[in-house]
Amino acid sequence: MIASLDDVERLLRPAGYLGLAARPLYLLPMLRTGCLSELLTVEGADAGWAERFGVRVHSLEEQTARREDTLSGRHLEELMEHLPAVVGNRWRGREFALAAYGTYREHWRQAIGRTGATLLVPPAPGGGDLLTDKVLMRDWFEHLGVPTPASVVVDSIDYPLLSGKFGPVFVAQKPKGSSGGNGTYLVTGEQEARELPQRSRWLVSEYAGDTTFSFHGFVPREGTPEVLRPALQLTGVEGLGSGFGGYVGTDFQAPALLPAEALAKGREAMERIGHGLADLGYRGIFGGDFALRADGSVATLEINCRVLGSSWLLGELEVGAGLLPTMVRHFAERHGHVTIGKPDLDPVEAVQLTIRHTDAAGVLLDAPVGGVYALEGDRLVFRRPGAGLLECGPADTQECVLLNLPRAGTALHPGGILGRLVTRRPLTTADGRSLNQYGRILVNAMRRLYSFVDATG
Q: How far apart are CA 146 and CA 300, in angstroms?
A: 7
DSSP for 201-222 reads -EEEEE---SEEEEEEEEE-SS
What is the average per-residue pLDDT within 228-243?
90
Query: By percentage, how much of the chain surpasses pLDDT 70?
Result: 98
**pLDDT attached to residue 69:** 85
Q: Is 376 exposed, middle or buried (0-12, 13-18, 19+ CB in 10 A)?
A: exposed
Residue 400: pLDDT band with limits 50, 70, 90:
very high
DSSP for 148-204 reads ---EEEESS--HHHHHHHH-S-EEEE-SBS--TTTTEEEE-SHHHHHHSPP-S-EEE
Q: How far apart are CA 78 and CA 75, in angstroms?
A: 5
pLDDT per residue as tens digits for the range 332-377: 999 999 999 988 899 999 999 999 999 999 999 999 999 999 999 9
Residue 405: pLDDT band with limits 50, 70, 90:
very high
What is the average per-residue pLDDT within 228-232?
96
**pLDDT attached to residue 176:** 81
Q: How far apart are CA 425 and CA 394, in angstroms?
A: 8
pLDDT per residue as tens digits for the range 294-314: 999 999 999 999 999 999 999
For residue 176, give the amino acid letter: K
Strand partners, 423: 351, 400
Please say if the pLDDT value at position 52 is more than 90. Answer: yes
Give the count of beta carbons closer than 10 Å to the beta carbon of residue 304: 18
What is the average per-residue pLDDT within 87-114?
90
Residue 88: pLDDT band with limits 50, 70, 90:
confident
Q: How far apart are CA 232 and CA 220, in angstroms?
A: 25
Please say if the pLDDT value at position 182 is more than 80. Answer: no
Q: Residues 6 or more apart from 67 whose CB is under 8 A from it? A: 43, 61, 406, 410, 411, 412, 413, 416, 417
List the single range of 33-42, 53-62, 80-89, 187-196 with lowest mean pLDDT. 80-89
Element containing residue 265 per DSSP (H, E): helix 260-280
Q: Is 170 exposed, middle or buried (0-12, 13-18, 19+ CB in 10 A)?
A: buried
Q: Residues 6 or more apart from 344 whose CB is under 8 A from it? A: 228, 229, 317, 321, 323
Query: Residue 430 to residues 197, 255, 433: CA-CA distances in angstroms?
Result: 33, 9, 8
Nearest to 65 by CA among 359, 360, 406, 447: 406
Distance from the first to the final alpha carbon of the chain: 58
E strands present in 209-332: 211-219, 226-235, 247-251, 284-292, 298-304
Please say if the pLDDT value at position 30 is more than 80. Answer: yes
For the chain, what is the mean pLDDT?
A: 93
Please say if the pLDDT value at position 457 is more than 60. Answer: no
List the single range of 176-180, 263-267, 283-287 with lowest mean pLDDT. 176-180
**pLDDT attached to residue 57:** 95
Residue 180: pLDDT band with limits 50, 70, 90:
low
CA atoms in the 13 A half-sphere facing the CB of 406: 31
